[in-house]
Structure formats: structure tokens, C-alpha cells
């Protein structure tokens, strides 16, 4: 996630890091080449594009903008939901820590390390890394590591420990139900994250948008070359930068758990969970907070 302040005039003029420009440079070059061809053709054969009016492009551009806004709003909604879910995960970790604060030291340590294991495993799972290895840094889930969902096995282990505490009389049924409810919140968060990660925006939306934007930007120079000459490059590249940039930005936001610059900082959120749980366990040397690198927080 980009954590830079509001862009200054210098950033607007020359900033590339954190910009969407590197992802669309190739397409902009193609449009620039097409524009040059249109300009040269208009100069060599004056009036060749006289019948191509710019008015239809205005109408098409408006329709394309509306459709692009719809898709980008859908992608941003996914990004924001993902951020809300990780906010709930942090809150649930704190709540569980309070609920188990009166337990004996071994049990309290097991629950708090279980929260760290869950957060680490979920980050690894969402980003396609080794979730079992991430979990083993905190707890041993035994046969659960060989199952289809090691992250959920962490919650199962925590639930079994809570049930055992109720059976041996360490906690009463009401206390157990509160602990189980907090563990259930983690399960709901995991399920919601998996839903976002495995259900992309329908491919037809992206395909239709990209085709329409590409055709629009390729034909536009021929409507403007006859009247604007070399100035054609300015409005054409500006329109192409806007359309292609919004499309690329929507593609990044569509997968909020990825590693693109505009995706959620899952590693930083995981570190927040780890620091808070370790502090509650009395650890004096806490891992340092995740810091942004080149203005990007991962």
C-alpha cells in the first residue's frame, strides 16, 4: 500500500515510484505510434480524415467512463472489505487476549501464540506462500499441517484447548462460550478473505472494458489528426493514460491481498498482531514495526 502524503507539484510532474505508469507504458507507446502514423497520413493527404467527426468519440468516451467507474467501484469495494476484515482480525485478537487473561500461563501463551499463528498462516495463504511453514513459527498443529486447511487447523486446536479447559473445570461454560465466540470470529474472517481471494471480478467485465478502451484510443487520433496536427499527441495520450491507468489500478485493487503497490499491507498488519500478542506475553524485545520502503508498505 502506498503511504506517501498528498502529491506535490514535483510528484505530479516526475514521480514514477507508486505510479501506475510503469504498468501501462507499453500501451501508451503503441497509442503514440498510432497517433504519429495518423498525423503523418493527415499531412501527406489533407482531408483524408475529414469525414471522421470527433462528436461520436465524446459520446463513446462518456459511456466508457461510466462503465469504467462501475468496475473500479466494484474493485475498490473488494479492497476496502479486505481492509475491514483485517481490522476485525486485530480487534478479535485483542478481545481474545482479554478473555483469556485470567488463565494459567501455559494456556494463555497457547491462545496468544495461536492468534499469531493464525495471522501468519492467513497472510501466507492469501499470498500463495507456505502457510504451514508460517504457522510452525508459532505453534505445532500436528496432523492439521497435512490437511487441506492448516490455517483453520490452528482455530480447531484453539477450540479443542478451550473445550478441554471447560471439561476439567478450569473455565465455566459461560467463559468457554465467550472464548469459542471469539475463535468463531477468526473463522468468519478467514472465510470472507478466501471468498474475496477466490472470486475475482467477472472476466467479461475486464475484457469488455479493455477492448473498448483500446479501440477508442486507437481510433481517436484519426479523428483529431486533421485539425490538431502534432498537437494530437497531447489529448490522445492524456485520454489513453486515464483509461489505461484506471483499468490497471482497478486490476490491482481487484486482488487486495496481492503484492502490488496498491494492495493491502498484510505483512505490516501481521506484524501489528505479533507485536501486540508478544507484548501481552511480557516479551521485552518486540519485532520492529513494518516500515514502508520507497513509500510502499507491504
Rounded Cα–Cα distance for residues 271 and 186 (Å): 17
List of residues 6+ apart from 266 with CB closer than 8 A: 86, 123, 126, 127, 257, 298
DSSP 66-99: HHHHHHHHHHHHHHHHHHHHHHHHHHHHHHHHHH
- How far apart are the C-alpha atoms of 113 and 152, rounded to whole Å? 15
Distance separating the N- and C-terminal Cα atoms of the chain: 6
Residue 44: what pLDDT?
84
- The number of angstroms, rounded, from the C-alpha of 147 to the middle of its chain's C-alpha atoms is 27
Domain ranges of the chain: 30-280
Q: Provide the pLDDT for residue 11.
A: 55
Q: Cβ distance 268 to 87 under 8 Å?
A: no
Half-sphere exposure of residue 243: CA atoms within 13 angstroms, side-chain side? 30
Which pLDDT does position 2 carry in this prediction? 62
**Residue burial 198-222, b: 16+ Cβ < 10 Å; e: rest:** eeebeeebbeebbebbbebbbebbb
Q: Is 224 helix (H, G, I), strand (E, B) or coil?
A: helix
C-alpha 155/C-alpha 181 separation (Å) is: 11
pLDDT of residue 60: 78
H-only helix segments in the chain: 9-14, 21-44, 55-99, 105-126, 131-136, 150-167, 173-198, 203-228, 233-254, 266-280
Within 8 A by CB and 6+ apart from 138, the residues are 113, 114, 116, 117, 120
How far is the CA of 251 from the CAs of 187, 206, 255, 260, 281, in angstroms? 27, 8, 7, 10, 40
The structure's pTM equals 0.87
SS3 of residue 257 by DSSP: coil
Q: What angle do CA 119, 124, 126 make, to 5 degrees?
A: 95
Whole-angstrom Cα distance, residue 247 to residue 243?
6
Average pLDDT, consecutive stretches of 10 residues, N- to C-terminus, the chain (298 residues): 58 58 88 92 80 74 80 91 96 94 91 95 94 93 86 94 91 92 96 94 83 88 85 90 88 89 90 93 84 72
3-state class (DSSP) for residue 2: strand
Nearest C-alpha neighbor of 110 from the set 100, 102, 120, 119: 100
20: DSSP letter: S
The single-letter DSSP state of residue 296 is: B
**What sign does the dihedral 123-125-130-135 (CA atoms) show?**
positive
3-state class (DSSP) for residue 293: strand
The pLDDT, as a whole number, for residue 6 is 59
Q: What pLDDT sits at residue 147?
A: 85
Quote the DSSP letter at residue 145.
G
Amino acid at each position: 500500500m502506498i503511504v506517501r502524503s498528498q502529491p506535490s507539484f514535483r510528484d505530479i510532474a516526475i514521480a514514477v515510484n507508486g505510479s501506475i505508469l510503469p504498468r501501462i507504458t507499453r500501451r501508451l507507446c503503441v497509442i503514440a505510434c498510432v497517433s504519429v502514423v495518423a498525423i503523418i497520413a493527415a499531412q501527406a493527404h489533407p482531408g483524408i480524415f475529414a469525414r471522421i467527426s470527433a462528436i461520436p468519440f465524446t459520446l463513446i468516451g462518456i459511456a466508457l467512463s461510466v462503465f469504467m467507474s462501475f468496475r473500479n467501484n466494484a474493485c475498490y469495494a473488494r479492497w476496502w472489505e479486505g481492509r475491514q476484515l483485517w481490522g476485525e482480525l486485530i480487534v478479535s485478537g485483542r478481545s481474545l487476549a482479554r478473555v483469556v487473561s485470567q488463565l494459567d500461563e501455559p494456556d494463555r501463551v497457547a491462545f496468544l501464540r495461536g492468534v499469531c499463528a493464525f495471522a501468519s498462516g492467513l497472510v501466507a495463504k492469501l499470498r500463495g506462500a507456505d502457510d504451514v511453514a508460517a504457522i510452525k513459527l508459532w505453534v505445532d498443529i500436528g496432523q492439521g499441517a497435512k490437511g487441506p486447511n492448516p490455517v483453520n487447523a490452528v482455530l480447531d486446536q484453539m477450540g479443542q484447548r478451550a473445550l478441554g479447559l471447560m471439561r476439567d473445570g478450569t473455565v465455566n461454560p459461560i467463559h468457554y462460550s465467550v472464548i469459542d465466540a471469539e475463535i468463531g470470529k477468526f473463522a468468519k474472517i478467514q472465510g470472507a478473505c478466501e471468498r474475496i481471494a477466490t472470486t475475482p471480478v467477472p472476466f467479461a467485465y475486464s475484457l469488455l472494458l479493455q477492448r473498448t478502451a483500446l479501440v477508442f484510443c486507437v481510433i481517436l487520433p484519426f479523428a483529431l489528426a486533421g485539425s490538431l496536427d502534432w498537437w494530437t499527441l497531447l489529448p490522445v495520450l492524456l485520454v489513453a493514460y486515464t483509461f489505461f491507468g484506471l483499468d490497471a489500478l482497478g486490476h490491482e485493487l481487484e486482488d487486495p491481498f496481492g503484492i502490488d503497490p496498491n494492495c493491502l499491507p498484510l505483512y505490516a498488519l501481521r506484524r501489528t498482531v505479533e507485536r501486540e500478542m508478544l507484548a501481552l506475553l511480557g516479551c521485552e524485545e518486540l519485532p520492529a514495526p513494518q516500515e514502508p520502503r520507497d513509500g510502499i508498505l507491504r
